[in-house]
Amino acid sequence: MSDDLEIRPLDLLDPSQEPAARGWIGVHAAVQRDIFGDRGSAWTLEEVQGFVRGADKKRVAWAAWSGGEVVGALEVHLPLRDNLRSALLWLSVEPSLRGRGVGSALVAEAERVAAEHGRSTLLVETEWAEGRSDASEAFATARGYVVAQTVLRSEQALPADRAALTALVAAPGAEDYRLESWVDDMPEAWLEDRALLQQRMSTDAPSDDLDLEEEDWDVERLRASLARASASGRRAVETAARHLPSGRLVGFTTVGVSAGEPDLGYQQDTLVLREHRGHGLGLRLKAANALRVMDELPEVSAIRTWNAASNEHMLAVNRRLGYTVDGYSREWQKVVRVPE
């Protein structure tokens, strides 16, 4: 790399730094295009700014500059309510400049920040497309990161077979449950149960070798998270399963749609509480939610999802719904000793 490489902090909320912030988000998007072509998963700057405004994580950003251009992007997420020993790294390098020291400089900065905040577990993700290999494997391994989880990326084309989805929803075996849904605005009466479900998402979904603790969710945290997503222009379609004898919500699935990509739905969390499994609720929830997406957001032509390779049950559900694998990711982890 040329001698003019410089790593500078970046305030993503400062209007005076917006051109740099656009360059920063552009580097992240360029990496996605390099891996997946026009099927990359790119955040908009407005979405990321919404996350930065949240109170449950401290998110700090840096940009790598060379020749007057942003050539590398880094964000470090520092949870503030739970997982206080963790730091999550989001790092991208302009594809044409790989192997020239940009990534190494950004990783060094990320690890410095993590140590400064007393974080001993560092987490970072790499991705690759079906039929290719993980180009970042050697880079991560050389810096002491090990694979803690492997994830499959899949897509369901829409519109799907409406009759087939309806039949899945109506199949016998779940007479004690009713499916309910909302679009864009979660009913106030759902918030308490949904906060509990969100917390259980951090313990009931497979985490493999990831060094993560149960997350701390309550109604106010959930309400704030929903408000940030809405303010960023993101739409949401969610279906939940209500256990009729108790009246409580016991499962849910959510699809989010970015204002920047209105034709693509992102399958977010799907969960059925352990004590209510065995009734096909996961399959019913996802089938019902796909139907609702087709009705409410007909411009959505695909739903994209990520599932741990160890989550055999959900992968089987996805196959029944017509999802096909088009990529993979790895969650890399590095545990370090933090100076006292």
Q: Is residue 243's pLDDT more than 60?
A: yes
pLDDT band at 338 (very low <50, low <70, confident <90, very high): confident
What are the domain boundaries of the chain?
6-119, 155-329
* Cβ neighbours for 141, distance < 8 A, ≥ 6 positions apart: none
Question: 119-135: per-residue pLDDT in tens?
Answer: 999 999 999 999 999 99
pLDDT band at 94 (very low <50, low <70, confident <90, very high): very high
Residue range 155-329 forms a domain whose CATH class is: alpha beta
Q: What is the rounded average pLDDT of the residues 251-272?
A: 96
Q: Is residue 55's pLDDT more than 90?
A: no
pLDDT band at 29 (very low <50, low <70, confident <90, very high): very high
Axis-axis angle for helices 281-296, 162-170 (nearest 10): 140
pLDDT at 2: 53
pLDDT at 339: 67
Give dist(CA 284, CA 271) in Å, integer: 12
User: What is the pTM assigned to this prediction?
Assistant: 0.93
pLDDT at 54: 84
**Tell me, what amino acid is at 277?**
R
Which secondary-structure segment (H or E) carries 49?
A: helix 45-52
Average pLDDT along the chain: 96
Comparing 6-119 with 155-329, is the CATH topology the same?
yes
Q: 176: exposed, middle or buried (C-beta count within 10 Å: 0-12, 13-18, 19+)?
A: middle
pLDDT at 138: 96
* Cβ neighbours for 15, distance < 8 A, ≥ 6 positions apart: none
Residue range 6-119 forms a domain whose CATH class is: alpha beta
pLDDT at 337: 85
Extract the tokens encoding 236.
């949401």
Cα–Cα nearest to 330, from 150, 102, 166:
150
Question: 309-335: per-residue pLDDT in tens?
Answer: 999 999 999 999 999 999 999 999 999
Question: 155-190: per-residue pLDDT in tens?
Answer: 999 999 999 999 999 999 999 999 999 999 999 999
Give dist(CA 268, CA 236) in Å, integer: 10
